[in-house]
Amino acid sequence: MLEGLLLIFTVALLLLSIKEGRGRDSLILEVTKATRTLTQHEYFVTIMDTMVDAEKEVFGVITGRAPQGDERKRTKEIALNIEKLIQSGVKVTYVMPRFQDRLHVGWLYFRAGAEIYYSSCAHVHDLRYMVVDGNVSLLGVPESVGEKEATKKGYRIPSEGLGFIMRNSFLGCLDDSVSYEEFVRETIKQTGAPFKTLARELNIPEEELERVNSSSSA
């Protein structure tokens, strides 16, 4: 009887330990998620603050991933900020990976007035950064290796030397790039899909596809 009671007590302790372990893991996971959300928000705020200080130009390399969830609101706010910068005479240029699923963000920023390019340059897949007026650089850090990974946080570095290095990298990628409109026309030609279908796949208005396609013969 004593051995049976000890066995039951041991099993009960084991089950309790497992339950506590799962609860602890769940708590750690929730804290990790909260931290990730906070750092992504800080990165977004840093982008906006850095862009506001621009007087002449803003250029950078971004992933151009289709925004999800709260990212949609942030992407639209960045587009509005780009529009304000363009109106104040600031030149804004972005380079993204040459993937068709990046055309949606390209369209949003192009519509706001930015110059958008798509490149197969290796740097475009490995780096994400923005440089303002050649003296302030914002470097984005992904959660893990990969151009599709979300940016976890960023670093704001005031340095003309770093800005010069980033500019050379940026210009090198521009040599192997196509403009937003060129890439749209290329996509239309390669897919051969009706505008209505392509508009749904790319999340770009059908009218925009028709405009870009007709501009090639203008």
What residue ranges do the domains of the chain occupy?
32-215
Sequence-distant (6+) residues with CB within 8 A of 60 are 93, 94, 95, 128, 129, 130, 131, 138, 170
Q: What are phi and psi for residue 44, nearest 5 degrees?
A: -60, -45
Report the pLDDT value the prediction gives residue 175, as an integer from 0 to 100.
Answer: 84
Protein fold of 32-215: Endonuclease; Chain A (3.30.870)
Report the pLDDT value the prediction gives residue 23, as an integer from 0 to 100.
Answer: 52
The Cα–Cα gap between 218 and 209 comes to 15
What sign has the CA pseudo-torsion 171, 54, 106, 130?
positive
Burial of 174 (0-12, 13-18, 19+ CB in 10 A): middle
Long-range contacts of 69-75 (CB under 8 A, 24+ apart): 74/44, 75/105, 75/108
Sequence-distant (6+) residues with CB within 8 A of 40 are 150, 151, 152, 153
What sign has the CA pseudo-torsion 125, 127, 128, 132?
negative
Report the pLDDT value the prediction gives residue 37, as an integer from 0 to 100.
Answer: 43
Report the pLDDT value the prediction gives residue 15, as an integer from 0 to 100.
Answer: 54
**In sequence order, what are the beta bridge partners of 157?**
137
**Identity at 108, one-letter amino acid code:** L
64: left (phi over 0), alpha (psi -120 to 50) or beta: left
- Rounded mean pLDDT for each run of 10 residues along the chain, 218 residues in total: 51 54 53 49 80 92 86 89 95 95 96 95 82 89 60 78 88 90 94 91 94 78
Tokens for 189?
């030609």
